[in-house]
Structure 1
Amino acid sequence: MSIQDQKTFLSNIHPFQVLTAEQMEICIKHMDIAYYPKDSILINPEKIPNYFFIVIKGSVYEYSVENVVLMDYHHQDSFDSNSLIYGKCNNIFKVYEDLICYELEKNTFLKLIELNQQFKDYFLKDLVNKIQTLKNKEYTSELSSFMIAKVEDTLIHEACIIDENTKLIDAIQKSMEYKTSSIIIKKTTGEYGIITDSLLKTKVLLEGRDLTISVKDIAIFPLLTVNNDDYLFEALTVLIKKNIKRVGVTNNKGEMIGILEQIDVLSHFANHTYVVDSKIKKANNLEDLKSASKDLINIISSLHAKGVKVNHISNLIGQLNTKVYQKLYELILPEELRDNACFMVMGSEGRNEQIIKTDQDNALVIKDGIDVEQYRFYMNEITKNLINFAYPVCEGNIMVSNPFWCKTVNEYKNETARWIEAPGIQNYMDLAIFFDSFAVAGNKELLINLKDDLFNKLHDKDVFMAYFAKATIAFDTPNTVTNIMTKSHIIDIKKTAVFPIVQGIRSLALREKIRETTTIKRIKILEDRRVLEKEKAAELLEAFDFVNTLRLKSQLHDIQHGKKITNEIDTHTLGKIERDLLKDSFKIINEFKRFISYTFRIDRIS
């Protein structure tokens, strides 16, 4: 292989492309090609190498001392920086297929680390930072201001801040000097409130109040705020979720530094989200609502193409879906029935993690003493219309049109007791789906009551929790990517990667009585409670984001080509960096499975 071929080969491998021309020359000068037959031991605890290996052809497996495959390395992969940097290795590197590789001298490798900070950072970073680095490299072409813009990057209006005891007329005069329609009120406690033009019309003009009243008499408290360092996309989600036109902006000290207006956020993004949100709000009939809901797939495609992270997309789409459900509930149910029941979404919808409409998971809980039968017709209408809106039928019939998922509070309590006392696969599944339930319309206190009851029933139910958590390890997660690439290049990313994280975290959340339903927020709460170590939580968040990104990318491809939406990923379509990310994600997931098995003592049950 010529020197130019060597340069070309290395320039395609991260992080070698960050080397300067001079550093690349040093690298190539001290690098040779070597051959090792199958079953050769390259590294083990007693054999620390004098080379950094870069695979040209063949493959190498990394084993634990217990002979468990931890990682596989093949074309363009490299190993083992840790052995060279720290002078020790706990694992065994064994040739799986005859190996042809580059060997970079140890001293040269260590010299390059000292000469190039980016090169050094990559090898000295932990797994989470390595994953983030690879993601940034893989998706750099897709990144845009849409994804990375912070609140401070857009227009923040100067805030007109006045004391809570200020006379209204003086406050209005000051707002005119600031040329703003918003007056920010600050209490002595430090809490902020707001007075808008619309509030002046309704609370002062229409009620005939005197302008000498104190601003605190009509102000709305508290004022919703975002941090100036927050992503602008997160601010947009708050505006959409709360149906408001502006939020306060604070710094890291909690001090008010300005006002962020919805119109400025929308002009920054120039996307279709606000249009859809407005169409849902203004829908006066089912056809208008159907038209609005059909626009969601265009938003998803646009956001994904612009590099927006999956959890941000799911959060925004979840808010819009919730508004569709609320409006549908309002349009179909007579007003006198609405507050005596709670309409809820469950499963992936309840976790706010169903981006593409794959199925319905919804239910109704009705106040005790109210006749359930009077809701039957309307629940059938809800299901029928959701199908008409392109929300697919749930194959398990987990829909409000099914009497099993439309009953009173007391009937649900009897059901949860049966799930716990007579455990079985179906009961575990029903409990898992129900635990992820989220109230979207009606009387939300009914669902809160049921969750309280469920938590009380699970006290000291260690054996039940062990069986419930066991589902985390129900599906195999590959130890390596090689067996996927060579044996069966189609994998179900939901079973192998998404579900183990969701179920494992759900099990911990149920045991800890955590009310939050989204997997990401559950992970953060578990970290705060020290159930998960900070590093483990960070790894799970990165792995969960990546596998869901692959899933969404594949599903959008299916939609664009008129195929049935599935959870299958064709690994032959993955680039090297995506394959490396998948490999690292599998490693994190398998370690998490072992953590769940140990935490719930799954080995002690049959």
Structure 2
Amino acid sequence: MSLRDQKEFLSQIHPFELLDERQMDKCIKHMDIAYYPKDEILITPERIPEHFFIIIKGIVHEYNENEEILVDFHQQDSFDANSLIYGKTKNNFKVYEDLICYEIEKIAFLELIEENEGFKNFFLNNLVNKLQTLKEKKYTSELSSFMIARVADTVLHPPCIVEEGTKLIDAIEKSMEFHTSTIIVKKQNGEFGIITDSLLKVKVLLQGRDLNIHVEDIAIFPLLAVNQDDYLFDAFSLLIKKNIKRVGVVDNDCQMVGILEQIDVLSHFANHTYVVDSKIKNAKTIEELKEASSEFINTIKTLNAKGVKVNHISNLIGQLNTKVYKKLYKFIVPKELQKDACFIVMGSEGRNEQIMKTDQDNALVVKDGVDVEQYRPYMQQMTESLIDFGYPPCPGNIMVSNPFWCKTVSEYKSETKKWIENPDMQNYMDLAIFFDAFAVAGDKELLINLKDDLFNKLHDKDVFMAYFAKATLTFDTPSTVANFMTKSHNIDIKKTGVFPVVQGIRSLALRERIRETRTTNRIRILEQKKILESQMANELLEAFDVLNTLRLKAHLQKAQDNVKINNEVDTHKLGKIERDLLKDSFKIVNDFKKFITYTFKIDKIS
């Protein structure tokens, strides 16, 4: 292989592309090609290497002290920086398929680490940072203002702030000096409120009130605010969720530094998400609502193409879905019946983690003393309309048109009691789906009541919780690249990776009486409660993002090919970085499974 070929080969392997010309020359000068036959032992705790290995061809397995395979290294993989940096290892490295590799001398490798900060950081970072680095390299060409822009990066309008006790006429005069129609009112306790033009019309002009009234008499408290260091996309999601046109912007000391206007955010992103939101809001018929929801797929494609994180996409699409359900509920259910029931979404929809329209999981909770039968024809229409909108029917018939999922509060309480006292696989599944329920329309207190009742029933039910958590282990998660780079080359990424994280975190959340439904938010709450160590929480968040990103990519490809969407990923179509990301994510999932097994003492039950 020529010098030019060697440079080209190395430049394709992260983090060697970070080396400058002189450092790359130094690397190649101290690099040789070596061959090792199958079963050759390369590294052991007693035999620390003098070289850093980069595989040209072949496979190497890394084993722990129990002779379990931890990692398998393939073409363009490298190892073992830790042995060289720290001078020790607990594991064994053995050739599985005849190996041809580059060997970089230890002294030269360590010198490069000291000379190049980016090179050094990659090898000294923990697994979370490595995952982040690999993702950044994978998606650098796709990054846009969507992905990286902070609130402070866009237009912020100077805040016109007046103290409580200020006369309204004086506040209006000050707002004219600021060339703004927005007045921020600050109370003595530091709380902020807001007065807008529309508020002046409704609360002053139409009511004929005197302009000498105090500003706090008409201001709306509190003013919703974001931090200037928050992602702009998160601020955009808040505007969409709350149906508002502006938010306050504060610094880390909670001081008001500006006003973020919806129009400026839209100009920054220049996408049609807000157009879709407006179509939902302005829909006057079910047909118009259907048309608005049909544009979700284009929104998803646009956001994904711009490099938006899958967590942000699911959050935004979840907000839009909620608005569709709420509006459809109002269209279909007579007004006099709406207040006596609560329409809920469950499962991935309840967790706000369903991006593509895969299937429905919904139900209706009816207030005790109200006749459920009068709701049934409307719930049938809800299901049929959602199917017409493109939300496929649930294969397990977990839909509001099914009488089992349309009943009173007391009937649901009887059902949850049966799930807990007579557990079987179906009951575990029903409980898991129900626990993720999120209220989207009607009286939300009905669902809150049911969840309170569920938490109380599970008090001191350690054995039940162990069986509930055991579902985390239902599907095998590949431990090595060889396990998922199979001949069939299709792997169900939901079963192998996403589900174990969701179910394990759901089990912990149920035990800890956590009401939050989103998996990522549950992880952060569990970290705050010291149930998860920060390192594990961060690793799970990174792995969950990788798994869902690959899943969404596969979904979009199937949608483009006009084939039925499922959770299979073709591993032979993964690039090296994606393969590395998947490999490291599966390692995190397997470690989490061990944690769940230990935490719930699953090995003590049959």
TM-score by length of 1: 0.99
Q: Which letter does structure 2 place at the counterpart of 1:99?
A: L
**Greater CA drift, 512-521 or 98-107:** 98-107
Structure 1 residues 248-303: Cα deviation after superposition (integer angstroms, max 9, x where no partner): 00011100001000011011111111111111111111111111110111100000
Q: Which letter does structure 2 place at the counterpart of 1:501?
A: V
2:212 equivalent in structure 1: 212
1:577 and 2:583 matched: no
Structure 1: gaps (5+ residues): none
1:488 equivalent in structure 2: 488
1:171 and 2:189 matched: no
1:50 equivalent in structure 2: 50
| Aligned-residue offset at 1:388 | 0.7
| Aligned-residue offset at 1:356 | 0.1
| Aligned-residue offset at 1:117 | 1.0
Structure 1 SS opposite 2:495: helix
| Aligned-residue offset at 1:94 | 1.0
Structure 1 residues 471-520: Cα deviation after superposition (integer angstroms, max 9, x where no partner): 11110100111232243311000000000000000000000000000000
Structure 1 residues 425-458: Cα deviation after superposition (integer angstroms, max 9, x where no partner): 0000000000000000000000000000000000
1:180 equivalent in structure 2: 180
CA distance in 1, matches of 2:287, 2:420: 42
1:411 equivalent in structure 2: 411
1:462 and 2:462 matched: yes
CA distance in 1, matches of 2:233, 2:274: 13
1:587 equivalent in structure 2: 587
1:286 equivalent in structure 2: 286
Structure 2 SS opposite 1:380: helix
1:32 and 2:32 matched: yes
1:136 and 2:133 matched: no
CA distance in 2, matches of 1:218, 1:404: 47
Structure 2: gaps (5+ residues): none
Q: Which letter does structure 1 place at the counterpart of 2:251?
A: N
Structure 1 residues 133-169: Cα deviation after superposition (integer angstroms, max 9, x where no partner): 0000011111111211111111000110000110111
Counterparts of 1:346-495 in structure 2, within 5 Å, are 346-495=346-495
Structure 2 SS opposite 1:156: coil
CA distance in 2, matches of 1:303, 1:7: 35
1:340 equivalent in structure 2: 340
Q: Which letter does structure 1 place at the counterpart of 2:156?
A: I
CA distance in 1, matches of 2:284, 2:24: 66
1:277 equivalent in structure 2: 277
1:198 equivalent in structure 2: 198
Structure 1 SS opposite 2:485: helix
Structure 1 residues 377-423: Cα deviation after superposition (integer angstroms, max 9, x where no partner): 11001001001111100000000000000000000000000000000
CA distance in 1, matches of 2:361, 2:526: 26
Structure 1 residues 543-572: Cα deviation after superposition (integer angstroms, max 9, x where no partner): 000110000001000011111101000011
CA distance in 1, matches of 2:111, 2:283: 66
1:268 equivalent in structure 2: 268
**Greater CA drift, 201-210 or 515-524:** 201-210
1:542 equivalent in structure 2: 542
CA distance in 1, matches of 2:507, 2:306: 34
Identity %: 73
2:72 equivalent in structure 1: 72
CA distance in 2, matches of 1:552, 1:438: 23
CA distance in 2, matches of 1:462, 1:69: 33
CA distance in 2, matches of 1:242, 1:159: 21
CA distance in 1, matches of 2:445, 2:351: 18
CA distance in 2, matches of 1:462, 1:92: 39
| Aligned-residue offset at 1:98 | 1.1
| Aligned-residue offset at 1:2 | 2.0
Structure 2 SS opposite 1:82: helix
CA distance in 2, matches of 1:68, 1:406: 49
Counterparts of 1:71-90 in structure 2, within 5 Å, are 71-90=71-90
TM-score by length of 2: 0.99
| Aligned-residue offset at 1:324 | 0.3
Structure 1 residues 180-221: Cα deviation after superposition (integer angstroms, max 9, x where no partner): 010000000000000001001111111111111111111000
1:235 and 2:240 matched: no
CA distance in 2, matches of 1:450, 1:462: 21
Structure 2 SS opposite 1:344: strand
Q: Which letter does structure 1 place at the counterpart of 2:27?
A: C
1:522 equivalent in structure 2: 522
Q: Which letter does structure 2 place at the counterpart of 1:69?
A: I
Structure 1 residues 324-380: Cα deviation after superposition (integer angstroms, max 9, x where no partner): 000001111111100100000000000000000000000000000000001001100
CA distance in 2, matches of 1:572, 1:524: 34
Counterparts of 1:77-156 in structure 2, within 5 Å, are 77-156=77-156
CA distance in 2, matches of 1:5, 1:127: 30
Q: Which letter does structure 1 place at the counterpart of 2:181?
A: S
CA distance in 2, matches of 1:16, 1:281: 51
2:252 equivalent in structure 1: 252
CA distance in 2, matches of 1:369, 1:99: 74
CA distance in 1, matches of 2:41, 2:61: 10
Q: Which letter does structure 2 place at the counterpart of 1:151?
A: V
Structure 1 SS opposite 2:258: strand
Structure 2 SS opposite 1:13: coil
Structure 2 SS opposite 1:491: strand
CA distance in 2, matches of 1:377, 1:37: 71
Structure 2 SS opposite 1:288: helix
CA distance in 2, matches of 1:306, 1:137: 15
CA distance in 2, matches of 1:277, 1:486: 43
Q: Which letter does structure 2 place at the counterpart of 1:543?
A: A
Structure 2 SS opposite 1:365: strand
CA distance in 2, matches of 1:560, 1:479: 31
CA distance in 2, matches of 1:75, 1:25: 22
Q: Which letter does structure 1 place at the counterpart of 2:206?
A: L
Structure 1 residues 525-584: Cα deviation after superposition (integer angstroms, max 9, x where no partner): 000011000010000000000110000001000011111101000011110001011110
Q: Which letter does structure 2 place at the counterpart of 1:130?
A: K
Structure 1 SS opposite 2:166: coil
2:500 equivalent in structure 1: 500
Q: Which letter does structure 2 place at the counterpart of 1:183?
A: I
CA distance in 2, matches of 1:5, 1:176: 67
Structure 2 SS opposite 1:569: strand
Q: Which letter does structure 2 place at the counterpart of 1:139?
A: Y
Q: Which letter does structure 1 place at the counterpart of 2:502?
A: V
CA distance in 2, matches of 1:483, 1:395: 29
Moved over 6 A (4+): none
**Greater CA drift, 15-24 or 537-546:** 15-24
**Greater CA drift, 481-490 or 451-460:** 481-490
Q: Which letter does structure 2 place at the counterpart of 1:586?
A: F
| Aligned-residue offset at 1:91 | 1.1
**Greater CA drift, 337-346 or 145-154:** 145-154
CA distance in 2, matches of 1:396, 1:147: 37
Q: How many residues align?
A: 606
Q: Which letter does structure 2 place at the counterpart of 1:471?
A: A
CA distance in 1, matches of 2:63, 2:488: 22
CA distance in 1, matches of 2:174, 2:21: 61
Q: Which letter does structure 2 place at the counterpart of 1:42?
A: L
Q: Which letter does structure 2 place at the counterpart of 1:312?
A: H
1:315 and 2:315 matched: yes
